[in-house]
Amino acid sequence: MGTEKMNTEARRRQIAEAALELIARQGVKELRVAAIARHIGLVPSALYRHFRGKDAVVDAILELLRARLLANVAAVRAETDDPLEQLRRLLLRHVELICTYQGILRLILSDEIAGAAPIRRRAAYSVLQAYLHEVAAIVRSGQKAGVIRHNAEADTVAVMFLGLIQSGAILWHMSGGLFGLEKQARSGWRVFRESIVARDDGARRGKKAAGRDT
Amino acid sequence: MGTEKMNTEARRRQIAEAALELIARQGVKELRVAAIARHIGLVPSALYRHFRGKDAVVDAILELLRARLLANVAAVRAETDDPLEQLRRLLLRHVELICTYQGILRLILSDEIAGAAPIRRRAAYSVLQAYLHEVAAIVRSGQKAGVIRHNAEADTVAVMFLGLIQSGAILWHMSGGLFGLEKQARSGWRVFRESIVARDDGARRGKKAAGRDT
DNA sequence: TGTACATCAGTGAACGCGCGTTCACTGATGTAC
DNA sequence: TGTACATCAGTGAACGCGCGTTCACTGATGTAC
């Protein structure tokens, strides 16, 4: 109807963002090409002028997600130099991201991605890996600075870090917001911190205790 | 055809188990009433003799899952009396469960459950909560026995425990089995253990350090 | 112990809905001369 | 600067597929007399 034309590049961005917002507000189930199109005042078929198909839109969402995750890392790096504090802030930002875009976790595990062709899964995997890589880098910088234990393997810690809110996020999601995600994040952080912080105020016990039950 | 009759109770169990196995082997996408029925030599419509619809089958799967999770708890309790060792073994069993029934995690976050009516989500939530409740009980018994720190809140620790493999499981899933889940579980456990173990071999530092950044 | 009837699991055809995708078109925008 | 043509975003109708579900039926199993 009265929809004015836009060049493809601008539309692509607009469509991807609309799709992400749709997921955020309504969940994966509502991610239909008809819904996406309607959301920006287009007719479903118009979407095919800019994307090969629904799959391509999902790819665009993944890229948006990658950008958001890495932006969080960049932000906490700018805010403080203390690696432990960087991790703590990143955790809170991550929780906020998950709360805002509830459904993102579901998208990643949905048929659109996890149940799709290997190429698609690889794309999602690479996004997660890029994020983990940055987290691990923070951990390593903490080890270098002597505030994080050396015997806590950085990659392992990064995955744990991710898991710290992931299970909470799922519970939060299932409970319909009842489960106190932010509280879990805060108290989880305290416990987590304890597991990686360097104990320079005592004997070098960390190493011995950690190797005890391999 | 030559399919012999069975009473409903037996069929119900058979159908639920077939559905679970289907998810295990092929993922949520393959969870179609046609596929389930074919898997046990029935015609799709026959399934409606025993279940009100597909939703009811999903409910049955959830119950099966609850049983498997609680069975793991019971098993580790029988194997050892040491709470820390119980947790470690439970973790390994959990990893095994997830590897065997890959797709269970996806089922929980799929449209069939997470995207469904609140009643359905509550059912899944209650399964997870029951499991978490048992894990927290183990943690508390560890605190009572003095092998787990008292200032690590049991419920928080339980959620962390769940998250310890959950993020790993997702990575494992996305990478198509490439990501070393069991290795992650083992090294993750070492770090996690460090965060909850009571430090009776030094001063009572744990309390002070943990409260530092609330 | 045999006959008659009710119950109930299994069948197969068909329906219907949701949804992604296609296609011939229209009308606006930008460009060459 | 105006005209003619190519390009391209947006339209709406229609298609087609997958899949859950319904329904009238058949034939076996179990039970009452």
Given a cut of 70, is residue B212 above it in pLDDT?
Answer: no
Amino acid identity at A143: Q
Q: What radius of gyration, in Å, describes the C-alpha atoms of chain A?
A: 20
Between A141-150, A154-163, A167-176, the lowest mean confidence (pLDDT) is in A167-176
pLDDT given at position B206: 39
Given a cut of 70, is residue B22 above it in pLDDT?
Answer: yes
CB-based contact B50:B8 (threshold 8 Å): yes
CB atoms within 10 A of CB B211: 10
pLDDT given at position B102: 83
What's the pLDDT tens digit per position in B99-111? 998 889 899 999 8
Better pLDDT: A54 or B30: A54
Element (H, E) at A149: none
Given a cut of 50, is residue B182 above it in pLDDT?
Answer: yes
pLDDT given at position B200: 55
What's the pLDDT tens digit per position in A77-121? 999 999 999 999 999 999 999 999 888 999 999 988 988 888 899
Better pLDDT: A133 or A174: A133
Give the C-alpha separation, A140 to A131, whole Å: 14
What's the pLDDT tens digit per position in A4-19? 788 888 999 999 999 9
| Contacting residues of B for A86, CB less than 8 Å apart | none
In the stretch 93-132 of chain A, residues with CB closer than 8 A to chain B read: 105-106, 108-111, 114-115, 118, 121-122, 124-125, 128-129, 132
Confidence band of A127 (pLDDT split at 50, 70, 90): very high
Confidence band of A200 (pLDDT split at 50, 70, 90): low
Question: Which residues share a beta bridge with B197?
Answer: B148
Give the C-alpha separation, B183 to A167, whole Å: 19
What's the pLDDT tens digit per position in B109-158? 998 898 888 889 999 999 999 999 999 999 999 999 999 999 999 999 99
- The whole-chain average pLDDT of chain A stands at 89
Confidence band of B4 (pLDDT split at 50, 70, 90): confident
CB atoms within 10 A of CB B69: 21
Give the C-alpha separation, A163 to A128, whole Å: 12
Q: List the single residue in A114, A167, A210 with the smallest CB-CB distance to B106.
A: A114
Q: List the single residue in A108, A167, A186 with the smallest CB-CB distance to B162.
A: A167
- A interface mutation test: which of B194, B201, B204, B214 has the most A CBs within 10 A? B194
List the one residue out of A67, A57, A53 whose CA is nearest residue A15: A57
CA B7 to chain centre: 30
Better pLDDT: A112 or A143: A143
Cα torsion angle, A62, A66, A72, A75, sign:
negative
CB-based contact B27:B108 (threshold 8 Å): no
What's the pLDDT tens digit per position in A15-43? 999 999 999 888 888 899 999 999 999 99
| Contacting residues of A for B192, CB less than 8 Å apart | 160, 195
pLDDT given at position A206: 39
Contacts of A75 (CB under 8 A, 6+ apart): A93
Cα torsion angle, A159, A163, A164, A169, sign:
positive
Statement: the CB of A177 is under 7 Å from strand C: no
Give A156's Cβ-side CA count (13 Å radius): 20
Better pLDDT: A1 or A123: A123
pLDDT given at position A7: 86
CB–CB of A163 and B165 under 8 A?
yes
- A interface mutation test: which of B156, B171, B173, B182 has the most A CBs within 10 A? B156
Give the C-alpha separation, B172 to B45, whole Å: 36
Give the C-alpha separation, A140 to A17, whole Å: 34
Residue A57 backbone zone (phi > 0: left; psi -120 to 50: alpha; other: beta)? alpha
What's the pLDDT tens digit per position in B85-100? 999 999 999 999 999 9
Contacts of A180 (CB under 8 A, 6+ apart): A172
Given a cut of 60, is residue B187 above it in pLDDT?
Answer: yes
**CA distance readout (Å), A62 to A75, A127, A128:** 20, 7, 10
Given a cut of 80, is residue B199 above it in pLDDT?
Answer: no
Instruction: Give, in Å, how far the C1' of D20 lies from the CA of B45.
Output: 10
Q: What radius of gyration, in Å, describes the C-alpha atoms of chain B?
A: 20
Confidence band of B35 (pLDDT split at 50, 70, 90): very high
Amino acid identity at B160: M
Amino acid identity at A145: A
pLDDT given at position B42: 95
List the one residue out of B2, B79, B69 whose CA is nearest residue B41: B2
pLDDT given at position B29: 86
Smallest CA–CA distance from A206 into chain B, residue? B194
pLDDT given at position A87: 97
Cα torsion angle, B67, A173, B98, B94, sign:
negative
CB-based contact B55:B120 (threshold 8 Å): yes
Measured distance between the N- and C-terminal CA atoms of chain A, rounded to whole angstroms: 67
